[in-house]
Amino acid sequence: MKFRALTAVAALLLAPAAFAGGADDDTLTINGDLDMVTKAAAPDHLSDVLDEVISGWHFRSDETQQLQTDDFENQGMIFVDQAIDQWNTAEGTEGKSCADCHSDPADSMVGVTTTYPKWNEDAGEMRTVQMQVNDCRTNRMGAEAWKYDAGAAVSMEALIASVSRGMPVDVAIDGPAAEYWEAGKDIYYTRYGQLELSCANCHEQNYGNYIRADHLSQGQINGFPTYRLKNAQLNGAHSRFKGCIRDTRAETFSAGSDEFIALELYVKSRGNGLSVEGPSVRN
């Protein structure tokens, strides 16, 4: 009876409010010349549930949207600048920097974000951008691995994302990735916590509505890492996953866990065709 009552409360919170509305029709152009695809036809694997995939940018206020249109206003770019310094800093027993192997990220990292998470054949595992960076740090630089979704790790991911802005997300979900994609899908549709809510309850069935004061988006992660005005810091996708599951009043998985790697692959694939926006700005 208690769970049923909580579920009923959750349903009321998700009900369309009088001021609720769908995605706006604004267009996102960055720095006056970089046009972003923020709405696209849903990929084939979503054809039974969505006709269109929509960036979370469309569900934010005009003031928040404006911050992302100019790199001087986008607070996330501060962390990108920090990562550029880190890129050029030699570390570890090998005395190497990222630049020693990869030169300028504006050349060597273009397009990388669009395909991650991806299967790494040599390692026999699904890897995220942060995992690949840590592999370089430990095996090529002789440096310590960074903590997942924290500090330098998420800033470096933002730098790598920034040089692919405007390019379409295109993660592979077949071959060795298929098993992980299915696992991520299972998590996406599983109800968690005392509120018995799944990712799909908010971001597939109720996007455009409000839950309390939050305008629900489709939960696309093409804009991650994202600077959130709520906590005034750069946030990785796994940190956002943790927050969502925690909000259902459930025990959550850890950033960098197998569960969140699979979920990242699945959610990223839901945005195939949208432009990479990271670092984006959200509330």
CATH code, 266: 1.10.760.10
Q: How confident is the model at residue 232 (pLDDT cuts 50, 70, 90)?
A: very high
Question: Binding residue per annotation — 60?
Answer: no
Query: What's the pLDDT score for residue 214?
Result: 85
279 close to 154: Cβ distance less than 8 angstroms: no
What range defines the domain where residue 110 resides? 29-281
9 occurs within a structural domain: no
238 is in an annotated binding site: no
Catalytic one of 244, 261, 267, 276? 244
* pLDDT beyond 90 at 38: yes
CA 213 to chain centre: 22
Is 127 annotated to bind ligand?
Answer: no
**Residue 112 domain-assigned (yes or no):** yes
Asked if residue 6 belongs to a domain, the reply is: no
203 annotated to a ligand binding site: yes
Active site residue 244: yes
Query: Confidence band (pLDDT; 50, 70, 90) for 170?
Result: very high
List the beta bridge partners of residue 197: 192
The band of 70, judged by pLDDT with boundaries at 50, 70 and 90, is: very high
- In sequence order, the 6+-apart residues with CB closer than 8 A to the CB of 106 are 163
**Is residue 9's pLDDT more than 80?**
no
Checking if the pLDDT of 228 tops 70, the result is: yes
Cis peptide before 16, with omega less than 30 degrees from 0?
no
Question: Does residue 232 fall inside a structural domain?
Answer: yes
Per-residue pLDDT band for 21 (boundaries 50, 70, 90) equals low
**Six-digit token pair at 281?**
């700005």
Residue 23, domain member (yes or no) = no
Q: Is residue 17 part of a domain?
A: no
Alpha-carbon span 156 to 144, nearest angstrom? 15
Question: Which residue, 239, 255, 214, is CA-closest to 56?
Answer: 214
Share of residues in the chain with pLDDT > 70 (%): 93
Average per-residue pLDDT for the chain:
93
Is residue 196 domain-resident? yes
Whether the pLDDT of residue 270 is over 60: the answer is yes
Q: How many structural domains compose the chain? A: 1
Judge whether 35 lies within some domain.
Answer: yes
Residue 147 structure tokens: 């903590």
CA distance 3 to 98: 51
